[in-house]
A and B are shown apart, each in its own frame.
Chain A
Amino acid sequence: MRDRCGPGGAGGAGGARGAGGAEPHPHGQNSPPHGPRELRLAIDSRLAAVAPAARAVREFLVAAGGDALEAAQAELCVTEAANNAIRHAYRLQPGGTIEIACVADGDRVVLAVADRGEPMREPPRPRPPEFDPADIENLPEGGMGLFLIGALMDEVRYTVADGRNTLTMTRFAPAALPAGRFSAAD
């Protein structure tokens, strides 16, 4: 857990913030051209609140120079993760908080969706849906969200720490690696 910022965080030493995070740049507009860009949002645990937040993530990634299709896939992953948190962590009850963070640093995009509700009992095991397309009665109606996240992202981690459950989804941009590694940006 890089940073914890919750009300009542009694054990907070105050200095636990990420070393790289100086000041938040609103929507990355004031970010240095090669530095990491970051968007942080908090929404209430209502399904209706998810779409605007997920859309903001997509728009942020496009504005940060990301590929339009990958930004749309990030929007979908944030949507799935936030819906999961509302359904399972908060059991569809409003009044809970979901924090969404998106960091784009050139060679990777990291999406984190955190809640303070009930943790998932076991780590997500994304499986591809298996079915016979002709067997209408047994088509899958659910359980596809985590599979989609797993299929669209390179790395998916679920951490439970101090009452905070975080699904962290990372996508690497192989094409960006050489430029990111060897350019003067470093």
Chain B
Amino acid sequence: MSIETVTMGEAVVVRVVGRALDAHAAGPFKDAVLALVAAGRERLVINMKEVELLDSTGLGAIVTCRKKLGPRGTIVLCQVDPRVLGVLKLTRLDRVFKIHPTEEAAVAAVSGGVPA
């Protein structure tokens, strides 16, 4: 697993490169995203296109990043595989992370208004 980040205006797209965001990959993923948060980025899109397996540790890592971001920031997901969507729904974390069909839609969504 590796991470590719692309800045699009205010938004930063984090592309997860690799098929599993699991306990083994969660650490490097979290480090990369938290570095963006530390650098002041508040509007993050996580592109899950390649991810076929999201386990509870990978999910926990996304949650940790969301919490670190605080109420001012936002994290959305895009291009989520049905298997990964199943995990988000079971844990009900789909209520926390909005899911967009495309990267463009996700970037547009986070670049929109300022969250209250």
Contacts and interface: CB of A to CB of B under 8 A. Distances in A.
A16 interface: no
A165 to B, nearest CB: 18
Interface string A129-160: 10101001101111111011001100000000
B71 A136 contact: yes
Task: State the majority secondary structure of interface residues on A.
Answer: helix
Task: State the majority secondary structure of interface residues on B.
Answer: helix
Which of A83, A141, A143, A145 is the most central at the interface, judged by chain B CB atoms within 10 Å of its CB?
A141
Contacts of A10: none
Contacts of A100: none
A60 to B, nearest CB: 16
A133 B96 contact: yes
Contacts of A76: 53, 55, 83, 87
Interface stretch (B7-15, B20-28, B34-42, B105-113): B20-28
A141 B91 contact: no
B60 A79 contact: no
Nearest to A133: B95
B114 interface: no
A79 B53 contact: yes
Which of A129, A137, A147 is the most central at the interface, judged by chain B CB atoms within 10 Å of its CB?
A129
A80 B56 contact: yes
Interface residues of B, number: 28
Given A47-B24, A48-B24, A151 B55 contact: no
Given A139-B67, A140-B63, A142-B60, A72 B23 contact: no
A69 B60 contact: no
A169 interface: no
A69 B71 CA distance: 35
Nearest to B92: A129
B52 interface: yes
A142 B53 contact: no
Contact of A141 (B23, B63, B70): B63
Nearest to B57: A83
A72 B52 contact: yes
Given A142-B56, A144-B91, 13 more contacts: A47-B24, A50-B22, A128-B91, A129-B92, A137-B67, A139-B67, A140-B60, A140-B91, A141-B63, A144-B59, A145-B57, A147-B90, A148-B56
